[in-house]
Amino acid sequence: MFDRHRRAGLEELGIDLYVRRDLPREVPAPAAAVPLHGQTQVAQPQAQAQVPRETARTLDWEPLREQVAECTRCALHQSRRQTVFGVGDRKARWMFIGEAPGADEDAQGEPFVGRAGQLLTAMIRALGLRREAVYIANVLKCRPPGNRDPQPDEAASCREYLERQIELVDPALIIAVGRIAAQNLLATDTPIARLRGRLHALGERRRPLLVTYHPAYLLRSPGEKRKAWQDLLTARQAFARIERGESVLS
C-alpha cells in the first residue's frame, strides 16, 4: 500500500504505480568499484590555497560548519554569496550527495532547493521517505560561476569536508546524484550509464553507494525518469537487505 507522500513522489516522477510489479525484485549483482582512499586519488589543491589551522577530519558538526563558512581554500569563495553546507537528519540512514550549489542554493544556503531540488524531494518521497529524514550534501560547498562543472582542485579542496560529513552521518546507504558526484566519489571517469544499476563500495570502510541521474538531467530528459525509478527500487531493495544485516557488496 502506497502512503500519500510516496504516491505524490511517484506521480511527480511520472511513474505509473503498477510499474514496480514488472521490475525485478532482486538487487542486481554487486560489481567491483574503484573505492577512494583518502585524498590520494584526487587532484591536490593549488599551491596558493589556504589550509586551515585545524583539520576538518576531527571536527564535530558545528565547528565543521563554521570552518566551511569561513573557507578560502579555492577561488570559489570570491564569488559565492554563502556556503551551502548540507541539510537533513545528521543521523540519517540515507545520504544523498550531489554536485554543487546552483543559484537558488547559493541564495538560500541549502542544497537542492530549485526545480531540481523539487524533483529530488519527489524521488525521496517515492522511496517512502521524507526529505527531513535523509541527509543531503554536495561535493562542492560553493557555487561555481555560471553553474559550470567543478574543477578538480575545487573538488579536492572540499573533499575533506564531505568525507567528514559522511563520517559524522554514518549512513547505511549513499546515493550519488549525477555523473559528477559519482565520478568524484568513486575517483573514476567511467560514464554514468556504466555506474548505474549496481552497488559500489566507497572508501576504506566500503560504504554501499548507488548512482542515479541528477534531477536537473531528468528535467531535461524526462524519458530517463523510468531508469531513475529503477535505481530507486534497487536502492530500496539494497537498504532492506542492509537493515536485515545482509551483505550487499562482494
Name which of 244, 238, 231, 161 is nearest 207 in CA terms: 238
Q: Would 163 be classed as within a structural domain?
A: yes
Q: What is the mean pLDDT of residues 155-166?
A: 97
pLDDT of residue 198: 94
Tracing cell 503498477 back to the chain, one arrives at: 18
Q: What is the mean pLDDT of residues 146-161?
A: 95
pLDDT band at 9 (very low <50, low <70, confident <90, very high): low
Q: How many domains does the chain have?
A: 1
Q: Would 23 be classed as within a structural domain?
A: no
The helix/strand/coil state of 79 is coil
pLDDT of residue 143: 96
pLDDT of residue 45: 44
Beta bridge pairs of residue 74: none
Residues 6+ apart with CB under 8 A from 63: 54
pLDDT of residue 46: 46
Q: Which three cell numbers stand for residue 145?
A: 560561476
| CA atoms 224, 230, 234, 236: torsion sign | positive
Name which of 165, 153, 190, 173 is nearest 111 in CA terms: 165
Q: Would 69 be classed as within a structural domain?
A: yes
pLDDT of residue 5: 62
Q: Answer yes or no: is pLDDT of 49 > 50.
A: no
Q: Would 158 be classed as within a structural domain?
A: yes
Q: Would 237 be classed as within a structural domain?
A: yes
User: In 10 A of CB 236, how many CB atoms?
Assistant: 17
Query: pTM of the full predicted structure?
Result: 0.82
Length in residues, the chain: 250
Q: Would 183 be classed as within a structural domain?
A: yes
Q: Would 81 be classed as within a structural domain?
A: yes
Tracing cell 536537473 back to the chain, one arrives at: 216
Q: Would 124 be classed as within a structural domain?
A: yes
- Domain hosting residue 96, numbered range: 50-243
Q: Could you tell me what percent of the chain has a pLDDT over 70?
A: 79
* Residue 61: CATH number of its domain: 3.40.470.10
Q: What is the CA radius of gyration of the chain?
A: 17
